[in-house]
Structure 1
Amino acid sequence: MKLSADLLAFQARIGHAFRNPELLVRAVTHASISSANRPDNQRLEFLGDRVLGLVMAEALLSADVRAAEGQLAPRFNALVRKETCADVARDLGIGDVLKLGRSEMMSGGRRKDALLGDAMEAVIAAVYLDGGFEAARTVILQHWGARIGDVQQDARDAKTALQEWVQARGQNPPSYTALGREGPDHQPVFTVEVRLVSGETEIARSGTKRAAEQAAAKALLARLEGRNG
């Protein structure tokens, strides 16, 4: 089986030359276009999630030999969650090569975090099945590398940290309001406001709604913590 030109380019971006190209094709095939002769990527996604988890666990233990389990767990969760997988997928351009059914394509499937994250995990599994664990580890560390370092510095999920901060002071959880969306479909910009019942607010903008929420929460938390020493 020969790969199409776009998948050959995608293979080069991954950094792994497939001996069995069918694995790569399957990894980018969504259930909305699957058939008896065209299996989707759901089983690969299941496997890839586990491979990613093992590589991230090893990487975090090596990166900080003194960290306790309670410190490692949030870092691990930040690295393997669907949104992070989707961010890596965007860096690799997975959306451009996803094989989708018409309805999924028309609803913006190439931009959805869930589809991109699932496809990224499926690609990891495809590399694992094609080249073994070391090949998968190499690909994962290549594309997650900077994030592993960053998470050592900023391990807390900002929304969770803000919620814990306000609840510790007897307040209700913060609320998030989408104020608008701008830009073309392939590069949207979301504006989100976070507000506390006490009146404090922050507004942030980002390429996904969740990232905008996180940015707003992080900014508000930094202001609150700074004000309170």
Structure 2
Amino acid sequence: MVEVFLNNAAKKIEGEYHQSKEANAPVVLILHHHPQYGGNMDSKIIHSIYTSFIDNNFSALKINFRGVGKSTGTFDKGLGELTDAAVAIDWLQEHNPSNVPIWIVGFSFGAWVAMQLTMRRPEIVGFIALSLPATKYDFSFLSPCPVPGLIIQSSNDTLSEESDVTELAKRLMNSVKSDQMEYHIIDDTNHFLRDKEEEVIKIIDDYIKLRLSSAVIPSQRVKKEVRIKEYA
């Protein structure tokens, strides 16, 4: 794991990067929650996700959005942060073979940015979205969603209502029509999935392994309903 700095016009974006020793390993970009509410790439959940992907032989990059940590600039209400993420994808492609699969992970605000980038970059093959802020932000741009992914939501989220996220997850499932689209509801936690980090990482690790195995042996199943799993 090494500290890296990505050049974004006049901005400098701080990141931490791990290069897999495996040839043609898939890559992942991980985005933290809202910069004005303590979001940064060194938060416990972000670092745990980063480590999980590394353990699954990914090349992994996590970044601090502009104005966070050593990243220069100031918060830009999502517009500049989307540019930061796009620059990070470009950087990953420069440092890896152009044909490797790219994943994107976002937590809360970072999930909103990640889903926008998923719509704009056809090289992205999968996403993981935690605590999607469906109550606060407009996700109508996801029509249709181009790739399957994993959504994790708390049943006690006071910032993004479970009903709003469930409605969005069902809409995405109907557009993707894949058994690789999963939606998990976690009980007894909050928007930040506090005290449930181990359960969350286990879900993510299982999903990564599912997708990696299906890339070798394509799945023949297609399901039209959201796979909803609840964890106490």
- TM-score under structure 1 normalisation? 0.26
Q: Choose between structure 1 and 2: higher helix proportion.
A: 1
Greater relative contact order (CA < 8 Å, ≥ 6 in sequence): 1
Larger Rg: 1
